[in-house]
Each structure stands twice: as C-alpha cells, then as structure tokens.
Amino acid sequence: GMETDADTFYRHLPKAELHAHLNGSVSFATMKKLIARKPHLNIEHSMTAISSGQRRTLEECFQMFKVIHQLVDSEEDILMVTKDVVREFATDGVKYLELRSTPREEAKSGLSKTRYVETIIEAIRQSKQDEVDIDVRFLVSVDRRNGPRVAMETVKLAEDFMLSSDGLVLGLDLSGDPAVCNGKDMLPALQRARNSGLKLALHLSEVPSQKEESEILLNLPPDRIGHGTFLHPEVGGSDSLVDKVCKQKIPIELCLTSNVKDQTVPSYDKHHFQYWYDRGHPCVLCTDDKGVFCTDLSQEYQLAASIFALGPEAVWDLSHQAVQCSFAPEPLKQQLKRRWAELRPQVLQPPPLQ
C-alpha cells in the first residue's frame, strides 16, 4: 500500500539496533532462498506457521530456530544470510547495528565455530565494500543451554576475535533458554570476558522467578540488559534489583513485539518500557528477532510512539540515546552522533505554517 507520512518518518529516522539475533533476523525472503537450495529438507510445511507471524510461545520460537539452523549450515549460507540481514536493516534506516549469534559447528559441512564467526565478519566486510549505508559490529553469543565449560571456550574465542577483527567484535551476549542452567554457573566465564575488555549484554529476568540469578549477574555488572522483563516489583521483581539497575544506569534493550508475541508480556500497553522510560532510565528499542516476529525497527519505534504517546522529538531523543548505549568505541560514537545531527533537520521537518 501507500506509505503514510508516519511510515516515512520512522523509516528515515536514523536508528541504532543493539539487540538482534542473526538467525532470528532472517527474513521470509531469505528463508525462501534457503529452502530452494535445500529441497531435500522438506521444510515447506514448517513455513506456513512462520509466515503467518502469529503469536508464538517462547517454546515455539525456540522450535523455529531449529528450522533456521537446519537451513543455515554452510559457510555460503551464513554469508548470504548475514549480508541479507545487514542490507534489510540498512533499508529500514538503521545506521548502526550490533548483530549477535552463537558460534556453531556443523560436522557434516565441516564448519567450525571459528569459521562461523569468520564468515559473519567476512559478510560484514563485504557489505561495507558494497557501500551498504550501515556500520555493523558483532557480539559473540553464549548459549546458556550449553553450560559453563562451553561458555568459557566461547569467551576465549570472543577474546581472540576482539583482538583480530579490527574492532568488529565488541562484546558478549548471554542468551538461550532462561529455564536452563543457572546464571551463577556462568560467572567465571562472564568475569573473564569483562576483564579482557569485552562488553557484556546479558539477557536478564526474561521470565519470572529469576530474582536470585538477576542479583548475581547485576553485580558483574553487565554493560546492557536484554529484556529485563521481570526486574520491577509490580511483576515479581524487587526494589533492590531496580535500585542496582538505576544506580549503575545500565541501559535496557526493550523488544516490544518480541515480548508480546512470545507472551512474556500480556499486551503492548502493559510493556515495561513505560516503567523504565518514565523513570528517565536509558531505554533502547530493539527488534530481537525481526524475522521470527515479523517486524522491523521502524515498526517498533512507531508502536512505542503510539502506545506511550511519544512525539517526534521524544522519538528522536530515544533513537539518539541508543548511540550512547551502544558498545561502539568513542570515535565511532562521535561519528554516529554527527550523522544523526546531519540528518535531524530533514527528518524533523517543521510543520508548514498555516
């Protein structure tokens, strides 16, 4: 259909995406290309549920990742997928992107974890060469389901890449099924990562009843919090958790559509964005898994604006603040802020005089 002025405003708004899982960001168009390459997998039937983009339980979302993992198992797949995802974010007006993914090995295609990360870095470099208008960095994900030993190996891998990737690998993400493996067991690996200079983005209080774990992880402290859905007292968190987050001004990555569709939040208007935003706490809007949840960052900004009554200036400030919350090194942050300043007049055009 026709683009409304609102759509144009949100797409042209320069944005920074700080919480995007690579495999969950794979679009329907890319999925179709992958399926065409792998007719033997017979995956068509799984796709109907995916394309309808309806609400999914957290469990169903993890199921969908299994399908994506089946489809993405070689270097050429990872290269294509990463380049597609980067291009799609750029098309949506994202100027700075931190992608995250768990290093995977595939025995049948001879893919190693090192090669997996190298291929993503290669895709980021190729996108830059193709002059896609976006700055991309990478966070290495630790999947808690794999336990503390693998976590430590992953941290060592991330350290190597932090030193060898020309600044493309900036940090570590802790994610994966929150019901599996206590975060406490991950502490040695996370502390090591912190000490080596890797930034930490940790999924925290994604489900209820994680108060003790959240206390422990907040003591590190992380550089950013993913979701933080159940930190505040009204939803079973605690004042002491909120105090820790506020005192240390730890930015929170907030993913509206993701939380509503995977049903950790009952409805958009009940989203905890409001709780933190009203406190003046640094909040960053993110997509989480734009493919799985059929969204993009423009849509997330538009949703937040309409649900929480944010005017164009407030929306701009939210987007600008995300740059400050990024793991980008200071010179890049300054460069991005100049970029935002240049774009401001054309994005926030004053309304014509009556």
Instruction: Map out the domains of the chain as residue ranges.
Output: 14-347
Q: Where are the beta strands (DSSP E) in 144-289?
A: 169-175, 199-204, 224-227, 252-254, 283-285
Residues ≥6 apart with Cβ < 8 Å to 225:
201, 202, 204, 231, 245, 250, 251, 252, 253
Torsion of CA 80, 95, 288, 170, to 10 degrees: 80
Q: For the full predicted model, state whether its pTM sits above 0.85.
A: yes
Please give the Cα distance from 76 to 82 (Å, whole number): 10
Token pair in block for residue 347: 């994005």
3-state secondary structure (DSSP) of residue 18: strand
pLDDT for 183 equals 87
Q: Which string of b and e fits 6-22 if b means at least 16 CB within 10 Å? A: eeebbbebbbbbbbbbb
pLDDT in tens for each of the 354 residues of the chain? 566 788 899 999 999 999 999 999 998 889 889 988 888 877 765 555 555 555 566 667 767 777 888 889 899 999 999 999 999 999 999 999 999 999 999 988 899 999 999 999 999 999 999 999 999 999 999 999 999 999 999 999 999 999 999 999 999 999 988 888 788 899 999 999 999 999 999 999 998 878 999 999 999 999 999 999 999 998 889 999 999 999 999 999 999 999 998 889 999 999 999 999 999 999 999 999 999 888 999 999 999 999 999 999 999 999 999 999 999 999 999 999 999 999 999 999 876 665
3-state secondary structure (DSSP) of residue 137: strand
Residues, the chain? 354
- How is residue 349 annotated by DSSP? P
Q: Which CATH superfamily is domain 14-347 in?
A: Metal-dependent hydrolases (3.20.20.140)
Please give the Cα distance from 267 to 260 (Å, whole number): 6
Half-sphere exposure of 269 (CA within 13 A, CB side): 3
Please give the Cα distance from 32 to 40 (Å, whole number): 14
pLDDT for 207 equals 86
Residues ≥6 apart with Cβ < 8 Å to 150:
142, 143
Residues ≥6 apart with Cβ < 8 Å to 230:
205, 206, 207, 208, 209, 210, 236, 237
Q: Which among 98, 106, 206, 253 is annotated as catalytic?
A: 206
Active site residue 206: yes
The position carrying tokens 């570590």 is 172
The position carrying tokens 């935002």 is 340
To 10 degrees, what angle do helices 187-195 and 211-218 make? Answer: 20
pLDDT for 5 equals 83
Residue 49, amino acid: A
pLDDT for 80 equals 97
Cβ atoms of residues 285 and 258 within 8 Å: no
Cβ atoms of residues 341 and 323 within 8 Å: no
Q: Prior bond to 222 cis, omega within 30?
A: no
Element at 296 (helix H, strand E): none
